[in-house]
Amino acid sequence: MEIKFDSVTKNYGPISAIKDLSFTVTQGDFVFITGPSGSGKSTIIKLILNQIKPSSGQILVNNHSPKTQLEIDQNRRKIGVIFQDFQMITDLTIEENIALNLDIVDFENDQRPLAIDTALKKMKLQNRRFLFPSQLSGGELQRACLARAIAISPQLILADEPTGNLDPINAWNLIKYLKQENEKRGTTIIMTTHHLDIVKSLNKKVIKLIKDN
């Protein structure tokens, strides 16, 4: 999936979260978005997901600006998302959390069991599938979030500070899994992070944001 920001500005009242931002992420890219807190990293994720609208400028998805809700929903079904705070439903098991996400994106019913099994196997969580989020360690929980994201066979994975609550070992393991998805499946990865040691260790494209004081 290709994402293009063309002179995008997003204002919250008198405050500009991002201002006149332009960049292109092509299919198969692995891109880091870096910058201090308040520089607009999470705003970019929300704009790509169409959770918020730009104040000005244009956002293209595969060279097209989605305008109808149908187009927005069709794009959203191709995007897997993982968050720093996990956002798992606490009273559902890991398997049920993944199944719910498949239901939300209207994934083919007859393919759901295989999609869940494959994602859990990739993340080495087969023996955790019937546990609840509170029963998993932080590293396991973030892997479960990635399993939920990749189960839909996304064209794009958006990872918003996914290593923020992880210890160094689990952080590097998560990066390894994201790198595998990118290199083996050609999945586009856009990851926001403040961990510059991770950014420096991979030879990937970097978009650096500067906080506009």
pLDDT in tens, 51-68: 999 999 999 999 999 889
Domain range annotation of the chain: 1-78+156-163+187-212
CA of 39: how far to CAs of 44, 122, 205, in Å?
10, 34, 18
pLDDT(100) > 70 = yes
For the segment 158-180, what is each residue's pLDDT rounded down to a tens digit?
A: 999 988 888 888 888 889 999 99
Per-residue pLDDT at 157: 96
CATH level 2 (architecture), domain 1-78+156-163+187-212: 3-Layer(aba) Sandwich (3.40)
- Whether 160 and 84 have beta carbons less than 8 Å apart is answered as yes
The pLDDT of residue 212: 67
Instruction: Kindly report the pTM of this predicted structure.
Output: 0.91
Mean pLDDT of 100-118: 93
